[in-house]
Amino acid sequence: MKYLIIVSMLLLPASGLASTTLDGWLDMQTGGDSLAISPGRMDIGGMLGGDGWTLLLRERFSRRDSTGITPRVLGTHSITDVDFIIAAGPVTINPEVSWVVDLGDKPEIVLPLAAGEAYRQGYIRPGLSLSGDLNENIHLFASGLYWNRDLKQEDDYDLDWAESRISGGAAWDTPWGPTIAVSGVSHRTESDFIDYEASWSRIDFTAAAGRNDMPLGLQAQAEVTYSLYGGNDFLDREIADRFTARIRLARMVIPNFSVNTIFESVFDFDDGTVRTACNSGEARIMYRFLQSRDVPSQITLSGQLAVSSIRTSKLQLSSRVNLYRGLSLLLGAMLRETPTDVQKAGPDRQRLVFGPGLEYQLGTNARIWGMIEQERTNLEEVEVWWRLRAGLELYPGTLTF
Amino acid sequence: MTQSARALLFIAAALLMLAACEGPTDNTQLIVSLEDCTGCGECTEVCPYGAIEVIDGDAVIDPSACHFCYRCVEACPEGAIH
């Protein structure tokens, strides 16, 4: 039934309209490892476009290993997105629906108010977004989303769970350069069955500026945001207000060699106390070469470190070296440290994933790839497993009719 | 020392300072780096409290529902949650 609706929605507008374009795509990934086969995911979609309107239909089916750890959680679900965008002068109207169905084993959700556990079966989420330009410097935006969740207890009682989210704001590109924005969001959750009701809200005051004419060819962007929160967290404490400062620096050191860095500091204003909530930094160095070939080659080295009440870090190398025409050699390696939830392991977990692969690109219309990876991770003891991943991406191009 | 080397040295020093920094003992909310989030939905899949939703292609954490179990931090393939 779901798929019949999707096909009908694609065909009906196209049959009655002239000068309509259709762009489609297919992205499939599959794989498996020495622990289990993971059938993977499929993303198929199409975008119909006409004069002042766009209709986007997207279906994603996923059955995958969600955690990469043992014991594993296998999630199987189907996500359908229908997105209709209408541009009328300076105003854009965007009604949308997202429809998620959890297939197979229903994931468990821990309910608030010590109401036990429920099983997630999916949701339907209609939404409406509006945006417009008051003049060339002032932009307004607003959106509303409503979730009708299908959450059931073991005895099959429906929890009648619903959420709504309303947001909106305005941004002003000042004549002096910086952009100033004020935005707000209000979220409400309720379940009649367990008599639960919670809401929170946030107002953001943001100032952002960027410069491209700095010495050394440096590009800089800076952004500060003060977020004023209303509502309580799961322990019934007030959610602290938050100040976030962010700087992004990018530089082309020599042609084909660029460095990109981001630094972020976050402070919480919690009941009269100001404290550092998080410091984080990220750097990415990219080197492009063999640019004249059918597929350009590239090596990217990136590092990331974040220190808050937890510490996470990541060092990653990824490369594509073109061998002949559309054929390229892939190589990836990643070293990560995160907290872990695996029993008897932790509190931190280090993992190393590395492996080679091959890719073939047929212009911009198709890409097929495969990688063999080994993962080593320290859980209760150091565990090692092999993984095979492969994918197919198709972009047939634009049809006009 | 060339200007390029100085710029790289500055970045390395800033990362080392971050590595040496002591974290606070309490954090009132997790952070999603919108630069790194791809909207893949792995975090929504593993969150046992239903506190994460992908909205407009980015993961959004509900500050009233998050219990700081850090499962999303561990599961995120991009390291976008901290």
C-alpha A109/C-alpha A119 separation (Å) is 6
C-alpha A229/C-alpha A396 separation (Å) is 46
Out of A108, A229, A259, name the one closest to residue B8 (CB): A259
pLDDT of amino acid A171: 97
Minimal Cα distance from B46: which residue of A? A66
B69 and A282: CB-CB below 8 Å? no
The answer, yes or no, to whether residue A70 has pLDDT greater than 60, is no
C-alpha A200/C-alpha A158 separation (Å) is 24
Beta-sheet strands, E only, within A134-178? 138-152, 161-173
H helix intervals, chain B: 3-20, 42-46, 71-75
Backbone angles phi, psi at A134, to 5 degrees: -70, -45
Mean pLDDT of A2-15: 56
C-alpha A233/C-alpha A290 separation (Å) is 52
Q: Which of A204, A307, A335 to mutate to test the interface with B (most CBs of B within 10 A)?
A: A307
A-chain CB neighbours of B65 within 8 Å are 112, 189, 198, 234
Check residues B12 and A294 and name the one with the higher pLDDT: A294
The answer, yes or no, to whether residue B77 has pLDDT greater than 90, is no
C-alpha A49/C-alpha A29 separation (Å) is 27
The answer, yes or no, to whether residue A68 has pLDDT greater than 60, is no
Encoded amino acid at A323, one letter: L
Out of B28, B31, B63, name the one closest to residue A200 (CB): B63
B11 and A112: CB-CB below 8 Å? no
C-alpha A289/C-alpha A129 separation (Å) is 42
B28 and A108: CB-CB below 8 Å? no
Backbone angles phi, psi at A52, to 5 degrees: 85, 10
Mean pLDDT of A40-56: 89
Residue A291: Cβ-neighbour burial (10 angstroms; 0-12, 13-18, 19+): exposed
CB A107 within 8 A of CB A72: no
CB A181 within 8 A of CB A170: yes
The answer, yes or no, to whether residue A381 has pLDDT greater than 90, is no
- Looking at domain B25-82, its CATH class is alpha beta
Out of B23, B46, B63, name the one closest to residue A73 (CB): B46
Mean pLDDT of A24-50: 83
List pLDDT tens digits, range B11-69. 666 555 555 544 444 667 899 998 889 988 888 888 889 899 999 889 999 999 999 88
Mean pLDDT of A40-58: 89
The answer, yes or no, to whether residue A15 has pLDDT greater than 60, is no
Minimal CA separation from A361 to chain B, in Å: 22
A-chain CB neighbours of B4 within 8 Å are 216, 253-254
Helix (H) / strand (E) containing A9: helix A2-16
Minimal CA separation from A253 to chain B, in Å: 6
Which of A160-174, A175-189, A253-267 is predicted with the least confidence, judged by mean pLDDT?
A253-267
Q: Whole-angstrom distance between the N-terminal and C-terminal Cα of chain A?
A: 27
Nearest to residue A121, comparing CAs of A141, A135, A105?
A: A105
SS3 B18: helix
Minimal CA separation from B81 to chain A, in Å: 9
CA distances, A126 to each of A30, A81, A97, A145 (Å): 30, 10, 4, 6
The answer, yes or no, to whether residue A77 has pLDDT greater than 60, is yes
C-alpha A376/C-alpha A357 separation (Å) is 18
Minimal CA separation from B40 to chain A, in Å: 10
Count CB atoms within 10 A of the CB of residue B9. 11
List pLDDT tens digits, range A205-251. 999 999 888 777 788 999 999 999 999 988 888 999 999 999 998 88
Nearest to residue B82, comparing CAs of A281, A108, A259?
A: A281
A309 and B24: CB-CB below 8 Å? yes
The answer, yes or no, to whether residue A18 has pLDDT greater than 80, is no
A309 and B35: CB-CB below 8 Å? no
* CA geometry: angle A246, B56, A187, nearest 5 deg: 85
Mean pLDDT of A8-33: 73
Encoded amino acid at A220, one letter: A
CB A208 within 8 A of CB A221: yes
ipTM of predicted complex: 0.86
Q: Is the dihedral of CA B62, B66, B68, B69 positive or negative?
A: negative
Mean pLDDT of A293-322: 93
DSSP code of B69?
-
B-chain CB neighbours of A69 within 8 Å are 74
- Position of tokens 């920094």? B21
Q: Is the dihedral of CA B68, B71, B73, B76 positive or negative?
A: negative
C-alpha A243/C-alpha A207 separation (Å) is 12
C-alpha A334/C-alpha A349 separation (Å) is 13
Beta-sheet strands, E only, within A192-240? 196-211, 218-231
The answer, yes or no, to whether residue A73 has pLDDT greater than 80, is no
pLDDT of amino acid A228: 95
Which of A131-145, A176-190, A335-349, B53-67 is predicted with the least confidence, judged by mean pLDDT?
A335-349
A-chain CB neighbours of B35 within 8 Å are 262, 282
Residues paired with residue A88 on neighbouring β-strands, in sequence order: A91
Q: Distance between alpha carbon A102 and the CA centroid of its chain, in Å? A: 19
Residues paired with residue B4 on neighbouring β-strands, in sequence order: none
Please state the pTM of the whole predicted model: 0.85
Minimal Cα distance from A340: which residue of B? B74
* CA geometry: angle A73, A76, A77, nearest 5 deg: 135
pLDDT of amino acid A26: 92
Q: Which of A83, A111, A279, A337 to mutate to test the interface with B (most CBs of B within 10 A)?
A: A279
